[in-house]
Structure 1
Amino acid sequence: MSEPVDNARVNVPEFSVSELSHRLKRSVEETFAWVRVRGEISGFKRPASGHLYFALKDADAVLDAVCWKGQAARLGVKPEDGLEVICSGKLTTYPGRSKYQMVVERMELAGLGALMAMLEQRKKKLAAEGLFDAERKRALPYLPRVIGVVTSPTGAVIRDILHRLRDRFPTRVLLWPVLVQGEGAADQVARAIAGFNALPPDGPVPRPDILIVARGGGSLEDLMAFNEESVVRAAAASQIPLISAVGHETDTTLIDFASDRRAPTPTAAAEMAVPVRLELLGDVAALDERLRRGMGRLALERRRQLQGLLRGLRDPREKLAQAQQHFDDLAERLPRALGVGLRAQRARLDASFAKLRPASLRREAAEYRRRLKDGMARLGRVVLRRREDAGQALQQRVKLLESLSYRNVLARGYAMILDADGRAVQSAEQLAPGQDVTIELRDGRRDATIQGSAASKARAARAKPAGGKAQEELF
């Protein structure tokens, strides 16, 4: 006997698993076509496909989420585990696993507190890598020839920088236009910094000596592009010294810690980059004046030293005259000394002859005569050689005197001008129009009168030494 059939159960429609899954999918998508969900990101993954997979959770539940590759590139927030966000999109199901999930199209931070916590966490991470160390920071060049600016080409920032540079020290500026907020701004800023560093030093586009990354003021969200890791790492890796000038004086971004110098405003960045040209010219003029005064004092001191040495230096002609006189005295005494010596030797010879016998006396006398003859010959040669040596020494001193004489200079075609007191004129400023002078040439002297303009008279009056004393001549 068969069991009775339940008509109620027989009337319920029968679905396949796929049909039921698709009905559930359409029902969920129609009911939750656009929702905003707040939660904490957990289990974030970015596979090779470029899609983003993560979960949104709170204290009681978990919601799977996915962001397709095309939409992921346009998100305003970079997803990270532990980051509290508000996601906008639609709910759908995944029939392959009987799960529902959220397809995210927009993402924003849940609040300022969460944003600050995220930035603090990122700051600690980058600081631990040494990107903010003081040892990495380089000194700014004192006078850069080319300045690279990374900012928006349409904002007031670039105009403020150019105006300030024009006022202080006109310098060549290269602008790399970028977005300074919104989607893609961080990537453009990072590429601009790397692009300036990639320029060859001797290429057609000059490589900047210093970089300025600038943006005007704004909210924390507006400045988020300069808190991204890509921008901070590009600033830290820059081989060109970099000044960050993002926001106003109270605004702080992570690029400020990685840059070589932080400026409170873009205008202040321009002031840091170059000195004031007028002040620089004043400093150079002051240094030039100090150099001139120092050289003047040094020349005066050297002149005084030379004059002191000249007072203690004897005239070389006097020393030559003394040597010549001594030579004449010796030449005059030599014949007398020879006669006296010869007579003394002859007297000794005569005394010796008296003591000897005649036969031996003749032999000894002949021997003495021979020795005397040889001695006289040697003595004559010695006297002649000494006279020749003395003559050569005298000639050398005469040549030395002639080489030191100013008359040799006159013999080469030069002339010496003497004033009315007979002193040598060493500068054109010592001469005034109408002044009588004497010109000494190699073959004599001639009197002359100086002619010139009124300007020459004034210049000569200024050059006249105090007290009416002129420089003493060397000889």
Structure 2
Amino acid sequence: MPLVPPPRPAAAPAADIPPTSVLTANQPEWTVGELAGALKRTLEDAFGHVRLRGEISGYRGPHGSGHAYFSLKDGQARIDAVVWKGVFGRLRQRPQEGLEVIATGRITTFAGKSSYQIVVESLEPAGLGAWMALLEERKKQLAAEGLFAAEHKRPIPYLPRVVGVVTSPTGAVIRDILHRLEDRFPRPVLVWPVRVQGDGAAEEVAAAIRGFNALKPGGPIPRPDVLIVARGGGSIEDLWAFNEECVVRAAFESTIPLISAVGHETDTTLIDYVSDRRAPTPTGAAEMAVPVRADLIATVADLSARAIGAAGRRIERDRADLRALGRALPGADALLSAKRQRLDLADARLAPALAAGASRHRARLQLLLDRMARRSPDVALANARARLARIDHRPLHALRNDVQRKGEALVQLGRRLVVAREASLERARALQARRTDRLLALSDRLAQAGARSVERRRDRLAGLAGLLGSLSYHAVLERGYVLVRDAAGLPVRRAGDAAAAERLSLQFSDGTIAAVPDGTPKTAAPRRSVRPAADKAAGRTATRQGTLF
């Protein structure tokens, strides 16, 4: 599709345009947004839907918004790819770093980065090698989590009341299972119809397994005692739904024993590793689920005949043993004669024994009556009352004396406490006075030390100030010297440099003035400085001015 520029106002007359800008003025002008939109429409109209084969690179999982971003690359180039949130949840194959896939989607542009990209609508592994690599990686991951451990396997019930089947309702698999169950042992069958290949098949199989487990025992819909997940043979792509992680985890979480019958005997899927039993074919799964009814009837009949024969033989043997024991038992008279004789002897001794016992108890009773007569309770009570009358006032006097003694002791203790309190207060006052004196002494010492420290620092500061004044070049300026600087503020040390400068500044002791050199420097003989008359009288020789630095 050709790029059509937007309409523009008419150009100014050529007479007003310089010759060098005629070509530029005739070219159309674009805004960045207009050019990006035109490129986007051209690219989408030219390509539309495409299928790209490449390796996933730069995938880090879904973004916080739910979208997924990655790149597809081969040995020559790479293209950015994006999967929107709504499409990501429906992908049959989720993106994985380094996986070679075939992506189907639309080619479009992203104006924010001035780049083109593919909006992925479906993903599938590229070739059998990618399928097998993905299968092995997923198998290792689930095995590491312990989903395939043997301790999780459960036994299949010998004779289930209800059999649940998860498969397609229109295929030959369900007919083979029903036919085999009818031949071996007819049982009620619940079929949960699902798709066994294509998009959404894995989710339907997982939902069917969880749906059977959600049935309540004794409810309106009977809960199966065993589940069969079955499908006919096919390629690895056709069987891939039973390799999905959601199906494997649903089979692992199933509380109902599960038999997997996916494909033929040579076909292996991940649900075979997590199921409780694996059948080579769907027909074999039906054989594992129920026994053969005829064989079971024959076995029950044989066991029943053997049980009846064993019970009859046991009864006959017990009857013979009972007859033998009956012949060995003595008669009733022989068993009771000795007992009767012992009873007669006991009857003869009973009357004398009762009389003797009554006589002994009578004598003991008389002895007790005599002792009570000698020690009457009235006499003991009178004696107790007399003793109580004698000690009537003694407890009161003892209590008063004890209270008086404790009161005196309490008064003495109070006096001692008063004396101890006065002594403690006196010691506290003395200690406080000593600490006050010490505090005053320390305060005086601190004030004196501070004053001495301030004085020492003041003297040191005065010395440093004097040293600074003696070393500063201002003292030299006070003696009549001048500091010459150029326009940059740098000192000028030679006459040639001063003559070459455009402007000079002369700093005296009392200020700075500007000066302009008048040309080539003149060499003059050194002259002696004029000294005061006192210096001439002293005979001192004048010296030439030195450098300031």
Shorter-chain TM-score bucket reads 0.5 to 0.7
Q: Does 1:316 align with 2:316?
A: no
Query: How far does residue 68 in structure 1 lie from its aligned partner after superposition?
Result: 3.3
Give the letter aligned to residue 183 of structure 1: D
Query: How far does residue 141 in structure 1 lie from its aligned partner after superposition?
Result: 1.0
Query: How far does residue 73 in structure 1 lie from its aligned partner after superposition?
Result: 4.9
- Residues 174-253 of structure 1: pairs in structure 2 closer than 5 A: 174-253=190-269
Give the letter aligned to residue 153 of structure 2: K
Greater C-alpha radius of gyration? 2
Aligned to 1:353: none
Aligned to 1:346: none
Q: CA RMSD in A?
A: 2.7
CA distance in 2, matches of 1:306, 1:383: 37
165-174 or 10-19: which moved more?
Answer: 10-19
- Pick aligned residue for 2:131 from 115, 129, 153: 115
CA distance in 2, matches of 1:206, 1:240: 13
Greater RCO (Cα-Cα under 8 Å, separation 6 or more)? 1
CA distance in 2, matches of 1:81, 1:256: 27
Aligned to 1:16: 31
Aligned to 2:149: 133
Q: Structure 1's 299 and 114: CA in aligned 2 closer, same or farther, altered over 3 A?
A: same
- Residues 370-385 of structure 1: pairs in structure 2 closer than 5 A: 385=348
Query: How far does residue 50 in structure 1 lie from its aligned partner after superposition?
Result: 4.5
Query: How far does residue 67 in structure 1 lie from its aligned partner after superposition?
Result: 2.9
Q: Please list the CA deviations of residues 423-448 of structure 1 after superposition, one character each: whole Å capped at 9, or x if unmatched.
A: xxxxxxxxxxxxxxxxxxxxxxxxxx
- Pick aligned residue for 1:36 from 47, 51, 62: 51
CA distance in 2, matches of 1:5, 1:256: 80
Aligned to 1:420: none
Q: Please list the CA deviations of residues 158-210 of structure 1 after superposition, one character each: whole Å capped at 9, or x if unmatched.
A: 11111111111111111111111111110000011111111111221111111
Give the letter aligned to residue 9 of structure 1: T
Instruction: Give SS of 2:169's match.
Output: coil
Aligned to 2:363: none
Aligned to 2:545: none
Query: How far does residue 285 in structure 1 lie from its aligned partner after superposition?
Result: 1.5
Give the letter aligned to residue 50 of structure 2: V
CA distance in 2, matches of 1:318, 1:131: 78
Q: Please list the CA deviations of residues 74-125 of structure 1 after superposition, one character each: whole Å capped at 9, or x if unmatched.
A: 5443332222111122311001221210122333221001110011001101
Aligned to 1:272: 288
CA distance in 2, matches of 1:261, 1:127: 17
Instruction: Give SS of 1:93's match.
Output: strand
Aligned to 2:161: 145
**Between Structure 1 and Structure 2, how many residues are aligned?**
334
294-303 or 43-52: which moved more?
Answer: 43-52
CA distance in 1, matches of 2:146, 2:336: 82
Aligned to 1:53: 69
Structure 2 unaligned runs (5+)? Answer: 1-16, 352-549
Q: Structure 1's 110 and 322: CA in aligned 2 closer, same or farther, altered over 3 A?
A: closer
CA distance in 2, matches of 1:384, 1:36: 120
Q: Structure 1's 34 and 300: CA in aligned 2 closer, same or farther, altered over 3 A?
A: same
Instruction: Give SS of 2:20's match.
Output: coil
TM-score by structure 1 length? 0.65
Q: Does 1:166 align with 2:129?
A: no
Aligned to 2:406: none
Q: Percent identity?
A: 61
Q: Please list the CA deviations of residues 400-430 of structure 1 after superposition, one character each: whole Å capped at 9, or x if unmatched.
A: xxxxxxxxxxxxxxxxxxxxxxxxxxxxxxx
Aligned to 2:378: none
Q: Structure 1's 102 and 383: CA in aligned 2 closer, same or farther, altered over 3 A?
A: closer
Aligned to 1:438: none
- Residues 251-266 of structure 1: pairs in structure 2 closer than 5 A: 251-266=267-282
Instruction: Give SS of 1:245's match.
Output: strand
Q: Please list the CA deviations of residues 134-156 of structure 1 after superposition, one character each: whole Å capped at 9, or x if unmatched.
A: 11111111111111111111111
Query: How far does residue 66 in structure 1 lie from its aligned partner after superposition?
Result: 1.9
- Pick aligned residue for 1:7 from 14, 22, 29: 22
TM-score by structure 2 length? 0.57
163-172 or 80-89: which moved more?
Answer: 80-89
